[in-house]
Amino acid sequence: MTPDMASIIDELEAEIGRLVAELAVVRRDWQADVGTLIANLNTAEARVVRAKLEFLEALERAQTAENQRDAARAEVMALSAHMIAHNVELQTICESQKRSGECSNAGMCDSCPRQWMIDALRESNNDNE
């Protein structure tokens, strides 16, 4: 082996050593970047799961509110039907009292059952306000 060949081989070995060291640094940095990306991915996935859970909870709260609203409407409808039935019954009593002569008032008076109901409703509304 000539001295020139030995020098070239030494330079190549030194260059290979530098490249191996540089490759080790690049690999270390790459692994750190991959670790960071994996951590970021895990954080993003956790946020997505949390957002989905919050959405489902909000959806459940909205459904509960809608059910409560529907139940309240049904209750109001039932009360309205009940009030209408009572009103018809009271009107029948009123008309019967007027026909029998028990009540001579053409309109409603303090002794009229319909007036009692109206007064009770007014009092109830005033209590609710």
Name the pTM for this structure.
Answer: 0.48
Whether the predicted pLDDT of 60 surpasses 90: yes
The pLDDT, as a whole number, for residue 117 is 65
Domain hosting residue 83, numbered range: 3-128
The pLDDT of residue 85: 82
Domain count, the chain: 1
Residue-wise pLDDT tens digits, 10-54: 999 999 999 999 999 999 999 999 999 999 999 999 999 999 999
**What phi-psi label fits residue 2: left (phi over 0), alpha (psi between -120 and 50 degrees) or beta?**
beta
